[in-house]
Amino acid sequence: MRVYLKELLDSDTLELHFQDRSGAKDRELLIPYMMNDAVEYVLWLSACSMQGRWEPTVPLLPEAEFAVNGGRNGILLRQEDGSSLSIWYGDAVLESHNYQYHRIGHNWRREKGGEALRRLVNLLCVLHDKYTFLGAAACNEQEIRLASLIEFGPLCYWTPINEPLTDWYPETMCGIEAMTGLVREAGDVSYLELLREYRKLAVEISGDPEGSRSWMGNKGSDGISEGTEGVRFGAENNGSDRIPEGTEGVGFVAENKRLDRIPEGMEGVGFVAENKGSDGISEGTEGVRFGVENKGSDRILDATHRRRIAGGIRMPGNIARAKRKKETLFQQLAQALEQEDHRGIFCLLQQKIEAASLSWEERKYSPEEEAAQERQRRQSEARYYQMGYQGSYPQMWRCNPTTGRKEEVFFAEEHPFTVLESEEYRFRIWPVPQ
């Protein structure tokens, strides 16, 4: 319970929803932990009472105090305006539900185009969040394999919202490898060739053939986790002012000209090209592990050591060219995902998402609500039959009478939450061209 509340407070997402049952002294408190298209995880606190003043519009401070008194549990919360409230409760239960999501889609974008692919990208985001915040225990094996696909930049490019997704889902080698497996399974040889070149450039830029967790660079970040500054970042790390003791220069690729002191035993590690002008070279280590040139050194490296460092040299000019070429390939790979020649990738991804989703239960509503939803489905199907479409809900198609081309449509649905849903939010259907 405390762990969940602390996470919600730290992320400024704690919401309190009091539910009156049989009187003012017998209330339940619902706290949404994670709610999205695939899951509803809610904390239920029974027999609640509240002391103090609570203003729902005033943000809560991240600090909380916990207490136990007379068999009841207490939480003390403070708000930014200085007010505080105490919540006392009997039992706390995390109620968790995993739901099907493969039919879900949202019409969020102002600009149109690529709706079918954007719908799948949104579902990959949902699976990534599910795995990240709830862990493997909340996912099936198919979902765990699919979750990392959103970390492939050209796929993440097809954002379902009105802003880029890269701040939440930065590209990783893990994502590239996952996409490589999907494309190989789809049998798309030409896309696979581009993808292999893309991966090669990613490795060249990062200098890490094993694949770092994040390799697109971290310039000027003020929020780098303590003790990890500069570690695992590719390309450059020119904005960090906090280099962890004993790791200065580790993982930096182009140059490291800022350091005035080289840590003992780490001379030249990760440095490329040259080390000219350093005033702090440890005695007896001059020239050790520096690549390309070592002017002024009287100690010559043995042949094995020279070969070992030569393979790791990455000149700044080469890195810049690799970045430009990779950006060109990024656009090619992103646009190709929308092209008919590579439709097999889209179809396979859609099949895998549906297979992963079907292992969970459907959302259940009242009989009246479910009957109304079914009427909407039948009305949508009938309307498209009148337009010359064949098949059945949710997938229909026709031959365009003017162009002769096959046209497909998928009926995406927006599903309300089963608890804590806004009264204005209703079940909706919108046709997505395939």
Nearest to 399 by CA among 382, 412, 387: 387
User: Residue 183: pLDDT above 70?
Assistant: yes
Residue 120 near residue 349 (C-beta atoms within 8 A): yes
Q: What is d(CA 182, CA 149) in angstroms, rounded to the nearest whole number?
A: 9
Please state, as a whole number, how many other Cβ atoms lie within 10 Å of the Cβ of residue 93: 11
DSSP string for residues in 110-151: SS-S-HHHHHHHHHHHHHHHHHHHH-GGGS-HHHHHHHGGGG
Quote the crossing angle between the two packed helices 189-206 and 316-336, to the nearest 10°: 150
d(CA 2, CA 9): 10
- In tens, the pLDDT along 188-218 reads 999 999 999 999 999 998 876 555 444 333 3
Q: What average pLDDT does this structure show over 229-244?
A: 35
- Note the pLDDT of residue 150: 97
CB 6, CB 43: distance < 8 Å: no
Residues 135-153: pLDDT tens digits? 999 999 999 999 999 999 9
Q: How far from chain centre, in Å, is Cα 365? A: 30
pTM of the model: 0.73
Cβ-contact 167, 148 below 8 angstroms: no
Residue 300: pLDDT band with limits 50, 70, 90: very low
Strands 39-52, 390-392: parallel, antiparallel or unpaired by DSSP? unpaired
Q: Are 32 and 420 in contact (CB under 8 A)?
A: yes
